[in-house]
Structure 1
Amino acid sequence: MTTGGDWDAAWSAALDAMELEADEVERMLRHRDMPERLPAEAPGFTPPPGIGPLPAALEERARRLVQRQLDLSRELSIAIAGNRQQARLVARLHREADQSVPVYLDNRT
């Protein structure tokens, strides 16, 4: 387990990593209509092992970060629902186009 100043530094580094991931999720949400700019793999956070409990001095920062992550989670849910709705609409349009009646024109006159 980390102790003393190393403990605070380890937690600061962990919160920094979490904030960078939140920044990446926000960037992906802003550019969701431009898939060429999105990374091939979604970010993922793994907490460092053995850093112990959160230091009291970092509690407010951690609370803000948790709220930010909850807000991003809601935004992602809304974006996913919107994408599903668009996918259903596109599928329906393709089905309707596939079921159209062929039209033949005889121009031998």
Structure 2
Amino acid sequence: MTGIRPVAGSTTAGFGPNPHAGSGTSGDGHDRRRSLASWQQTLDELEGDVVSARAALARGRGEEIAAWGRRTADWVPPTDLGPIPADLRERAARLLQHQLAVGEELVERILQSQRQRDVAARMSYTPSRPVASFVDRGL
């Protein structure tokens, strides 16, 4: 389902008025404004998360970046949002592209960090020069 509703008072396949179309009352305008405001707030929150993740990447702190990768709670949209208003579709599409780009960068940084840890774990921490295990008193 696309979330696009038929125009109020439209007909469906020649069987009279569509029972699912809006009534066209003044309350619809209020609902649209409320929906627009709810969507704007939701998009603001999502954009804030993306900006925070981008800032964490820019700071380059491994633990902070890894913390973004360990987030386990998926975003669950509020149930009262309804379909996204046409005025906000372009903004939402840009946000999605930004989220995907930051997500790819997070994955790359996490993989890079794991590779570095693997290399560090394989490195020998013994001194680079041999240390005498006895003292020659003959000299």
TM-score, reference length from structure 2: 0.62
Structure with larger Rg:
2
Kindly report which structure 2 residues correspond to 1:1-109, keeping only aligned pairs within 5 A, or say none.
Answer: 3-33=31-61, 35=63, 38=64, 42=68, 45-93=75-123, 96-97=124-125, 103-106=132-135
Higher mean C-alpha displacement, 12-21 vs 41-50: 41-50
Displacement of 1:85:
0.9
Q: Structure 1: which 5+ runs fail to align?
A: none
Q: Distance in 2 between matches of 1:24 and 1:107?
A: 63
Displacement of 1:34:
6.5
Q: Identity across aligned pairs (percent)?
A: 28
CA offsets 1:69-104 (integer angstroms, 9 cap, x no match): 0101110111011101100111011xx236x98741
Displacement of 1:58:
0.2
Displacement of 1:12:
0.3
Q: Structure 2: which 5+ runs fail to align?
A: 1-29
Structure with more helix by fraction: 1
Displacement of 1:32:
2.3
TM-score, reference length from structure 1: 0.77
Q: Distance in 2 between matches of 1:4 and 1:70?
A: 29
Q: Distance in 1 between matches of 2:48 and 2:136?
A: 66
Runs of 4+ in 1 over 3 A off after TM superposition: 41-46, 100-103
Aligned-pair Cα RMSD in Å: 2.9
For the residue of structure 1 that corresponds to 2:44, the secondary structure is helix
Higher relative contact order (CA 8 A, sep 6+): 1
Amino acid at match of 1:6: R
